[in-house]
Amino acid sequence: MELAQASLNAWTVKDLPLAALVDEARVRGFGGIAPWLETIAPVGAETAGRMIAESGLAVSSVCRGGFFPAATADGRRRAVDETRRAIDVAAAVGAPTLVVLPGGLPSPVRSAGDFVELGEARRQVADGLAACLDHAREAGVRLGLEPLHPMMAADRSVLCSLGEANDLIEELDDDALGLIVDVYHCWHDHALEREFARAGKRVLGVHLSDWVLPITGQLSSRGMIGDGCIDLVGTIDLARRHGYAGLFEIEVLSDRWWAEDPRDVVDVVVERWSTLAPVAP
């Protein structure tokens, strides 16, 4: 498959500063990059935007906003304010999408004073998103809601399936809100194709990595594409068949790969991508 259909997510090679990330992606022939706020911050959003624009690369998304549940009204307001600031950064660098993680429970300990029931936390996610939609629309940025694997329900995402995320997206019914499909979190979902079809044009991003064993950390055990059991070719085909026309982000959050020279990691990404069967855009 042409590398121009792929975007290099900054956290796959998180030790690369933005200038090096842009250079590596441009020279190798990636279609774009997906910087995180932490990648952009050292140079500032305006400089980052100019740097990326001059490279000719697209920005598939910026990561991340969200984490809305909180035990206090002040905490919930801070999450909304931080997400609005992240929207502004995304707009400044030319990103069409800000990835939004729902957030987990303020405390995973039921006896703690800041404990929030799961149902209430989910309502707070809906309220937080609703409070950011006008700002996103005015900035020309869409919010990409990313549900995570159930093992992260307590601390990172009280939305644990594409179905839950699609339910909320339909409830809020706003063109500024869509879905991020990360295969690490949903490859096992029996409703994967149905939820892809249900989301349709509301799919704003597709993130690729692989599932390898053993899982040694919730965040940092992803496999390099092609190293695990996920049907990546089938997922790419599924996305295209249901109307997704964007770039596929290679997002490998992995202690194993972070220990390598990031430029060597890019070499591996390029080689593995070339082994995937061609899919018509």
| pLDDT at 149 exceeding the cut of 50 | yes
The mean pLDDT value of the chain amounts to: 96
- Per-residue pLDDT, 280: 47
Domains observed in the chain: 3-274 (3.20.20.150)
Read off the pLDDT of each residue in 235-246 and give the average, rounded to a whole number: 96
- Per-residue pLDDT, 48: 98
pLDDT above 90: percentage of residues in the chain: 93
- Per-residue pLDDT, 108: 82
pLDDT digit string, tens, across residues 94-123: 999 999 999 999 988 888 888 899 999 999
Q: How confident is the model at residue 276 (pLDDT cuts 50, 70, 90)?
A: confident
| DSSP per-residue codes, 94-147 | T-SEEEEE-B--S-S-TTSTT---HHHHHHHHHHHHHHHHHHHHHHT-EEEE--
pLDDT digit string, tens, across residues 248-272: 999 999 999 999 999 999 999 999 9
pLDDT above 70: percentage of residues in the chain: 98
| pLDDT at 281 exceeding the cut of 90 | no
pLDDT digit string, tens, across residues 9-38: 999 999 999 999 999 999 999 999 999 999
- Higher-confidence residue: 204 or 216? 204
| pLDDT at 41 exceeding the cut of 70 | yes
- Per-residue pLDDT, 277: 61
pLDDT digit string, tens, across residues 222-239: 999 999 999 999 999 999
- Per-residue pLDDT, 120: 96
pTM, two decimals, is: 0.96
- Per-residue pLDDT, 111: 84
Q: Which of 183-187, 210-214, 216-220, 252-256 has the lowest mean pLDDT?
A: 216-220
Read off the pLDDT of each residue in 70-76 and give the average, rounded to a whole number: 96
